[in-house]
Structure formats: C-alpha cells, structure tokens
Structure 1
Amino acid sequence: MAEESERKRFLAQREAEKEEERRAREKIRQKLQQDKLERKGILGLPREDPPTMKPATALPQKIKNSQPVDPDLLPVKPATKKELMRECLRSLKRQNKDDNARTMRAFQTLMIYVKNIANNPDEEIFRKIRISNPAFQDRVGKFEEGIQFLELCGFERDEGGDFLLLPQEKVDMSALTLAGSELQNALTNPYFGLLSG
C-alpha cells in the first residue's frame, strides 16, 4: 500500500509539474507575441492583432484559373489621410537621410504648428503662416512635403500665395490629432522612413 501511495503521489506531483510547465510556456508565448507587436510599432510597421486578423479574400475562381492578372486592373484602395501624412514625412526623411538634424528640425517645427493650433484653435496667429518667412523657409517651407503635410492638416494657400491659412471653420481636431501622432512617431522612431520603399 505504501508503494501504491508513493506512486500516486509521484504521478500527482508529475502532473502538477507538467501543468506548471505548460502555463510557463503559454506565458512566454504571450510575452513573445507582445514583444513582436511592440517591435513592429517601433519599426514603424503596422501593428496587427492576430485574433482579429481576417483571412485574405480569395480571388474569384475565374481569375484564379486564368492568365496572370495585371495589377493595374485590380481595384485600388484610396490612401487615407493618415497614410498620406506618413508618406509626406517619410519622403522628407528619405530626401534628407544624410542630414538628420535638418529633418528633425522640420518635424519639430511641424509639431509646434500642430500643437499650437490644437491648443488654441481660435487664435488666428497660429493658423496663418507667411510662406516667405525666413525661419519657416529654412525649417519647413523649402520642403515640398512639409507644405503638403500642412495642407493635409487643413492649411490652404491664400489668393496671393503669400500665406498658408487654416480657416477657423476648417479646423479639424481629428486631423490635427492624427498629424501629431504621425509627427511623434517620426520624431521618436529612429527607423522611421528608412525601411519603406
């Protein structure tokens, strides 16, 4: 009986160890998945949540079995404002990859414009930029992408082309928040714009 009791205790202990080991493996697996998602965020890659990922939609049977499909004939999803903003910033960074300080100064200046308007949407002084201003030209104005980024935030050129204006009725807080988020990513992510084509 003592032997049988010892054997049962040994089996129970072994089962408990296996269960503990399984929980530890699951915890490590979850940590690895979280680290993977965080790394994707650091590298500027789109984050994905595996449980909510949708399977790729299959091409219709007719297309699948026929000749290769010309990519120009497939429907094109229009770019979102976020994607357009990110591409402006990436392009600016790629064009100045040899002068990181110039790029960072442009990003910081754009961030100041966005923050000032978001914090004081009623103040016209923050919604009006003289294009010929030497400081503006040196930091942002000489980059076509910098102007495009401001236009995506809602700025428009005045009739004379001397100013970039953001009319008070066109202040879009969601666009400004999006712009601030993209700029923050560009300022803090050392690989921003360098890994994309």
Structure 2
Amino acid sequence: MAVPEVNKKLLEQLEDMGFPRGWATRALHYSGNSGIEEAINWFVDHENDSNIDEMPLVAVDIVIDCQPFHITEQMRIKAQELRFSFERIRASKELTEAKQTAKANERERYLVSWKAEKEDEKRARERILKKLEQDKVERRFRVGLPSERPAALKSSPLQGKKLQNSVPVKSVRKAEQLRECLRSLNRNHQDEGTTVGRVLQTLLIYVGNVAKNPDEEKFRKIRLSNPSFQDRVGNLSGGLEFLELCGFEKTTEGEFLYLPRDKVDMKVLNTAGYELTSAMTNPFLGLLSH
C-alpha cells in the first residue's frame, strides 16, 4: 500500500487554501484529480468521515493528468468555510474525547477509593468484634461464669487455667459485706463519680490477678506506700476495707497488704469480682452516681 499520486499543482493550491496535506490528498484522490471545485465538493460530502484526517493508501499507481487549473474567488471562500467547519468538528471531537477520558479516570479513582474505604471498615469491624469477644471472656472469667472462650483466645495467658464451670455459690453474708463496703465507698465519694469508677476498676484488677494467678506472690502482695495504690485505693474510704474482706491482711510492720496462699478463697474472690463488675455495669444497684 502507498500514498496515491495526485495532481501536485492542485495539491499545492489546496494547501495554500489552508487544507492539511492529508485532507487535500484524500479529496483529490477520491474526486479523480478532476479539479479544485470537485475536491471541495468532495469535502462537503465527506466532512463527517471518521478517517478524514488519515492519509489515503492505495495498492496501485494512478496516472495523473497535470493540466493547470484556475482557482476562482468563490472556490477559495468555499474552501475556507470548509476548513473552519473541519476545525470546529475536530475541536469538538477532541473536547468530547477529553471529557470522556476525564470521566473514566474519575470513575476509576472513585472505585479505588470506595474499595479501600470498605476494606478499612471491614478490618475495623473485625478488630472491634474481636476486642468485644475478648473482653466478654475476661469478664466471665473474673466473676467465675462458665467459660465460652473462642478459638481465637487459645493462646491467651489464661490457657491451661481451670475456670469455674458454674456460677459460684456465694456466701450470702460475705457478698452482703462486700456490697455494703462498695455502697459505703460510693456514699463517701458520691460527688467524685470518676474517682469511684477508677477505684472499682483498680480493685477488680487486684482481685482478678489473684484469682488467675493464686500461686504468684507478687499478685498477693501490695505495698501500701505505693503512690499509685494510694491515689487509686488507699486514700479512699472503703478501698482497703474491700481488699481486707477479700482476705488481704496488713503485715506486722504495716508495710504491705498480703494475702497468704493458704487463705486464698476462690469463692470469695469470684464473689468480689461479681460485685465489682455489677457495680460498674448495673445502674440499678445504686452503687454509682449518675
């Protein structure tokens, strides 16, 4: 395939009139190189062709008649109008294509952003559900409720510990003493809701650590002068009393609260954990100010 030979004089005249070489070559070739007017008429009939900008290709050579041709003023005006029309069509086509490309790119960016957002939401939900399940298991363990530990918690530090399989049989007297101690603590600090909540959480940690690790002395021994202990428990009326009800005793020197191993009573500890958890979560017990 090759670019067809056209009348060079006519080609130059069309180019002088403002037509691109590809357009002029195509018009002359398909109008039979018969003249400028015929080429312009071909433009009129084919101005919307999708391949108007392409250089035509043919398989055979064409013999061209190179007779000179006179261009009239009317033909020049018509050619100029056609050129402007072609330029408007081309500009409109390019603008449409640019808009379509921009829309496609915007849709692609939106889709990528939407997928990433959905993945983030999914991972966040999974983290929250896992944390809630872990908290549920830990709470049940602290108060001695039956274990429902999921497979995801098999590697927990609590693995291997024998948990209670039923709600402990609480001593009615001991439970009431613990409950009354918490009521007293709340009454003495009823204007300090945040402080009361903090001491309950701290007491639950002390009791829970002993219940989970009764053989670990470090969990059964509390230094009374520890600033953190004093701030959270020791300085609040009712805090020390609650630990003493759980079995802790002041040492002879008065330096520590100590729970001897042989005095660890799991039923009492489970009862204490139950009462603390109820005080923090059940507004109807009247233990916290709201």
TM-score exceeds 0.5 = yes
Query: Does the alignment pair 1:122 with 2:215?
Result: yes
Query: Does the alignment pair 1:166 with 2:242?
Result: no
Deviation by residue 1:66-119 (Cα, 9 ceiling, x = unmatched): xxxxxxxxxxxxx81111100110111111111111000000000000110000
Match of 1:144 among 237, 247, 252: 237
Query: Does the alignment pair 1:106 with 2:212?
Result: no
Preserved CA contact (<8 Å) 1:94 1:193: no
Q: 1:181 to 1:190 in 2, by over 3 A?
A: same
Preserved CA contact (<8 Å) 1:156 1:166: yes
CA distance in 2, matches of 1:150, 1:83: 14
Alignment TM-score, normalising by the size of structure 1: 0.57
CA distance in 1, matches of 2:183, 2:275: 10
Q: After superposition, where does 1:1-197 map in structure 2 within 5 Å?
A: 80-193=173-286
Q: CA RMSD in A?
A: 1.5
CA distance in 2, matches of 1:186, 1:90: 9
Deviates more, 1:94-103 or 1:104-113: 94-103
CA distance in 2, matches of 1:142, 1:165: 18
CA distance in 2, matches of 1:169, 1:194: 31
Deviation by residue 1:15-69 (Cα, 9 ceiling, x = unmatched): xxxxxxxxxxxxxxxxxxxxxxxxxxxxxxxxxxxxxxxxxxxxxxxxxxxxxxx
> Structure 2, unaligned stretches of length 5 or more?
1-171
Who wins on radius of gyration, i.e. which is larger? 2
What is the one-letter code of the residue matched to 2:175? K
Preserved CA contact (<8 Å) 1:89 1:193: no
**With CA pairs under 8 Å and 6+ residues apart, which has the higher RCO, 1 or 2?**
1
Q: How many residues align?
A: 117
CA distance in 2, matches of 1:80, 1:145: 18
> Structure 1, unaligned stretches of length 5 or more?
1-78
What is the one-letter code of the residue matched to 1:187? M
Q: 1:126 to 1:194 in 2, by over 3 A?
A: closer
| Identity among equivalent pairs (%) | 59
Aligned-partner SS, 1:84 = helix
Alignment TM-score, normalising by the size of structure 2: 0.39
CA distance in 2, matches of 1:94, 1:191: 15
Q: Residue in 1 aligned with 2:150?
A: none
